[in-house]
Structure 1
Amino acid sequence: MTITFKGIELDEDGKFIHLTITGKLEKEDYDMFVPEIDQKIKLYGKVNMLVELVDFHGWTSGAAWEDTKFGVRHFNDIERLAIVGDKAWEKGMAYFCKVFTLAKVRYFDFTDDN
């Protein structure tokens, strides 16, 4: 099943959640996709996530706060988190995420051949 809204696509397949994010995230975006992720966690317990950042421009301050709350609330609910992007700051963001989760976090660059 695929849910698409405002440049954010959420593919769901059991314990796997695939988010494709484009543009700039706003608080309202979290109001739309977080309940879907919460439901998956409630159904399956720990989940695996793939977050693709395509032409990503960061967050508004309201969205950054929502992201922090999400990380704290789901500190132990994500088993593996893969972030795919193409900017150095996105790679840094992946390392920063590690303090907000027990998940195994890895960053992959779109230009990598691996």
Structure 2
Amino acid sequence: MIEIIEGFPGNVVAVSATGEVTRDDYEKVLIPAVEAALARREKIRIYYELGSRFGRMEAGAAWDDLKLGVRHYLRWERVAVITDHDWIRHAVDVFRFMVAGEVKTFRMDESREAREWVASPIEDTKIPLS
């Protein structure tokens, strides 16, 4: 199951996953939330929490996740994945290249830091011309 987490800025789609995440969860909850946010902004951020009650993701949901990521490749500004599941952290590292923006994983006890990071301004790293 995927549920929207309230209390984030408008440029952040925040969700929590518990139990089994299904294709239906993606099609009825996550994809509409992402599409609505992208209709209002050029780029968005994702806060994705997969806690101890998260069990697994069915194949259809994984496929929808991949399609969503590719379809909006240049529109992801930041993605925070919060989990204590090592296999998810490793999967994020493997597929990090599929996100043009910044991607960072956090442990569950770092959720406050993850919330601050995903909502914080991105520092301008341009070198000033002399």
- The answer to whether TM tops 0.5 is yes
* One-letter identity of the residue aligned with 1:8: E
- Within 2, Cα distance between the matches of 1:10 and 1:74? 21
Runs of 4+ in structure 1 over 6 Å off: none
Q: Which residue number in structure 2 is paired with residue 44 of structure 1?
A: 41
Higher strand share: 1
Kindly name which structure, 1 or 2, has the bigger radius of gyration based on alpha carbons. Answer: 2
Structure 2 regions of 5+ residues with no counterpart?
A: 114-130
Deviation for aligned residue 1:51 = 0.7
Deviation for aligned residue 1:101 = 1.1
The CA RMSD over aligned residues, in Å, is 1.9
Helix, strand or coil for the counterpart of 2:20? strand
Deviation for aligned residue 1:48 = 1.3
Deviation for aligned residue 1:40 = 0.4
- Within 2, Cα distance between the matches of 1:82 and 1:104? 8
Q: In 2 relative to 1, CA 90–41 (structure 1 residues): closer, same or farther, beyond 3 Å?
A: same
Q: In 2 relative to 1, CA 75–7 (structure 1 residues): closer, same or farther, beyond 3 Å?
A: closer
The answer to whether residue 62 in structure 2 is matched with residue 67 in structure 1 is no
- Within 2, Cα distance between the matches of 1:70 and 1:7? 15
Q: Is the 8 A contact 2:2 2:15 kept in 1?
A: no
Which of 1, 18, 40 matches 2:14?
Answer: 18
Q: In 2 relative to 1, CA 37–7 (structure 1 residues): closer, same or farther, beyond 3 Å?
A: closer
Q: Is the 8 A contact 2:84 2:107 kept in 1?
A: yes
Helix, strand or coil for the counterpart of 1:76? helix
The answer to whether residue 30 in structure 2 is matched with residue 30 in structure 1 is no
| TM-score between the two structures when normalised by the length of structure 2 | 0.75
- Give the number of equivalent residue pairs: 109
* One-letter identity of the residue aligned with 1:81: V
* One-letter identity of the residue aligned with 2:24: E
